[in-house]
Amino acid sequence: MAISRRDALALSGLAVASSALSASADSMNKKQNQNSESAINYKAPLPDTTNPRVVVVGGGWSGLSIAKYTKIFAPNADVVLVEQRHEFTSCPLSNLWLVDKIELEYLTHDYLQAARKNNYTYFHATAVDLDKENQILKTSDGNIKYDYLVFAPGIDYDYSRWTKDIAFENRLRQEYPAGFIPGSEHITLRNKVLNFKGGNFILTVPSGNYRCLPAPYERACVIADYFKQKKLDAKVILLDENNSITIKEKGFKSAFDELYADYIEYVPGTAISKIDLDNKVVHTEFEQFKFEDAAFYPHIRGAKILERVGLAKDAKNKLEANINPLTYEAIDAKNVFITGDSRPMGFSKSGNTSNSEGHFVASIIARKINKTTKIKWEPPTTTCFSAVSIAPERAIYIYTQYSYDKISDTFDFADTVSSEDWKKDGKVNANSIYSWATALYTDMFN
């Protein structure tokens, strides 16, 4: 499949940037481990301010909305977005890019433009440590004194259920990346799909509240459709740890059965016991699956920076943020908030959810700055469109909010609406994918 010169240049730029950032982060982590006393002790190159400074770590869907709306709700705040990437690349909608349905330019956005348009500062650096007592964030480019701090760092992968061997884990990360953290993983996975010649292509679905519940099923559909359009002798084998499809089950199951009976083999309730990369065989309790290529999606955990700075808790062997679930405020850290996919509540780990909760957290911070009354808890919103075919384009849809039970201290779905009949509503839903994405990109980047 040929790609445009524009995409080729963009891809090479992203690859170089991602490699450089990864190398920089790895080097930094090694230095920290070797000598924790050698932390950076100089001031970050940011102008002094007498206004309350709000520092947001992480330029994803939550961090971007918090940076923008804190400035809107509290115009006197000095807002700094700390992000280690040079540009934003969207994970939502990336499945369509994997199969050459949309251009990379649609997914890629400018942090500098967002900062200019929304009157905050984009600071290109990596958060490395935290001085809670003195309210100082330590970064790869100096220390930042804050009045309020938000961590919105996203996820990290947890391969421990598959292997304890670091070398083997690195092979999985490099040779068969999951493709749920934006950047090089998506580029690698796209090349795998577009250059696939035939045979078995394995995808996996972890159990638990993993990032973007419908995405692995959507990915299976669009890759299968791509293979179908190319008339390849190929099959997507979807190994799901869950006993059934976790969300939009009716829509995805009917697509598997009616559109891709010869192209998708769905295997629920399947935990991987061993992956033989040399012989390309996946072992489960009862079966073995040979493969020509794969993308292995492991369990996820909260970003490791939270553990490093003492803001994580071990929740069922899954390190996530230690926060007040109604206010997002960190336990044992003054004026620190944690949002997005690292939070422990059972909300969908998705872009729309993170964006909507970002609005809420921004309003909490603004009320503290403005010294106004406390804000009432507002549930985040999950709006999610999933493609089930690319030729023609058809999609399914779900919308939900969440309720909170004070007695049991638990959250549950509320006000859920879905549209899973892709035969009837598939075209309308597919068109809505782009209007939804454009609206959210506009909200974050103007």
- Domain borders along the chain are 39-154+303-370, 159-300
pLDDT tier, 39 (very low <50, low <70, confident <90, very high otherwise): low
Question: Cβ(372)–Cβ(353) under 8 Å?
Answer: no
Alpha-carbon gap, residue 158 to 239, rounded angstroms: 17
Residues 39-154+303-370, CATH architecture: 3-Layer(bba) Sandwich (3.50)
Q: What is the pLDDT of residue 316?
A: 60
Q: What is the mean pLDDT of the chain?
A: 92
Q: Is the pLDDT assigned to residue 20 strictly greater than 50?
A: no
pLDDT tier, 30 (very low <50, low <70, confident <90, very high otherwise): very low
Q: What is the pLDDT of residue 174?
A: 98
Domain pair 39-154+303-370 / 159-300, same fold? yes
Peptide bond into 182 cis (omega under 30): no
pLDDT tier, 317 (very low <50, low <70, confident <90, very high otherwise): low
pLDDT tier, 11 (very low <50, low <70, confident <90, very high otherwise): very low
Strands, DSSP E only, in 248-333? Answer: 264-267, 272-276, 281-284, 288-290, 293-295, 299-302, 312-315, 318-321
Residues 159-300, CATH architecture: 3-Layer(bba) Sandwich (3.50)
Mean pLDDT of 63-85: 98
Alpha-carbon gap, residue 200 to 203, rounded angstroms: 10
Q: Is the pLDDT assigned to residue 413 strictly greater than 70?
A: yes
Alpha-carbon gap, residue 239 to 398, rounded angstroms: 23
Q: Is the pLDDT assigned to residue 435 strictly greater than 60?
A: yes
Q: For residue 225, what is the enclosing H or E element?
A: helix 215-229
Q: CA dihedral defined by 337, 343, 349, 353, rounded to 10 degrees? A: -40
The pLDDT > 70 percentage for the chain reads 90
Q: Is the pLDDT assigned to residue 24 strictly greater than 90?
A: no
Give the least confident one: 10-14, 276-280, 417-421.
10-14
Q: Is the pLDDT assigned to residue 29 strictly greater than 80?
A: no
Q: What is the pLDDT of residue 7?
A: 53
| Neighbouring residues of 180: CB distance < 8 A, sequence distance ≥ 6 | 91, 155, 210, 211, 212, 215, 297, 300
Please state the pTM of the whole predicted model: 0.90
Alpha-carbon gap, residue 192 to 203, rounded angstroms: 12
Mean pLDDT of 16-41: 48
Q: What is the pLDDT of residue 8?
A: 47
Mean pLDDT of 404-416: 90
Alpha-carbon gap, residue 364 to 376, rounded angstroms: 9
Q: Is the pLDDT assigned to residue 95 strictly greater than 90?
A: yes
Q: Is the pLDDT assigned to residue 93 strictly greater than 50?
A: yes
